[in-house]
Amino acid sequence: MNLAEAAEKIIPINPNIPGGTVAPGDPSAFVQSAYTFLFSVSGIIAFLALLYAAVLWASAGGNSSKVGEAKKKMNDVFLGLGILFGAYLLANFVDSSLTKIQLPKLEDAVVKMEEQVIKLDVPVGSVAGNSVTLGESQMRQDLKSKGIDVWESRPGATQVNGLRQGVINEVLAAKASCGCAVTITGGTEPDSHSGGTRSHPTGFKVDLDDTEGLNNWVIKSGQFTSAGTRRDGAALYKNKKTGAIWAKEGNHWDIVVP
């Protein structure tokens, strides 16, 4: 048996106490059952002691010494029962939880792990100026191996060669955190994309298909903060960990890295 199996194995507790029922793995219930049993036993002992004292009194035959001994035994029994029940009633009056044995409830432990930044397994020397210079075919193959699809509705419509390493890391981290389908619909291709120092052609921007899973992750995961609205009306969201800006454009997310 390995450690994982041992941790999950539940060992039932069988107290073998008359009238005692103990749930598996609940030591407090075992103590409670033993306490109830001993409390019942004390009552039986007290009854037998009273019965003995009564027999002793009945058989005294007027002997004052034996009668006095029987009375003393009865007084001792009633005194013991009074102390026993009095202690229970007092504890129950002060705080009813004192008469109930219960383990403290433990809240579920939530362990938050830092997201691992996944990088492409690129050959040494293939990253120049923070831009991955693999060919288009190799880039698509490496992205595919890590669960990232590249739009292929029209040959050459989407290019991923020349994407910056920061952009690749943003896409891969989104895939790892979201656990949903991630498809690149726009990359470094120049057609229909404006220029500038941080643009699609320069490798600083990428478009992702706005699937339901990705939308929910961006808007509801708590990893993004609202960054207002762009001039064209696109809602902006800022990744709190990376600083990347995600813009909700029509049917896709337009992402630019710092």
Q: pLDDT tens digit string along 115-166?
A: 444 444 444 333 334 555 577 888 888 888 899 998 875 555 788 888 888 8
What's the pTM value of the predicted model, to 2 decimals?
Answer: 0.49
Query: Higher-confidence residue: 142 or 1?
Result: 142
Percent of the chain with pLDDT over 90: 21
**Is the Cβ–Cβ distance between 165 and 182 less than 8 Å?**
no
pLDDT tens digit string along 88-99?
777 667 655 555
pLDDT given at position 189: 81
Positive or negative: CA dihedral 235, 233, 248, 168: negative
- What residue spans define the domains of the chain? 12-99, 127-256
pLDDT at 128: 37
Name which of 212, 213, 211, 204 is nearest 243 in CA terms. Answer: 204
Show Cβ contacts of residue 113 under 8 Å, excluding neighbours closer than 6 positions: none
Structure tokens at 225: 């903060």
Confidence class of residue 4 from pLDDT cuts 50, 70 and 90? Answer: very low
How many of the other CB atoms lie within 10 Å of CB of 6? 8
Instruction: Please name the residue that has the structure tokens 């004292």.
Output: 53
Q: How many CB atoms lie within 10 A of CB 143?
A: 22
pLDDT tens digits for 27-38?
Answer: 556 666 676 777
In this structure, the dihedral spanned by the alpha carbons of residues 70, 74, 76 and 77, taken in order and rounded to 10 degrees, is: 140
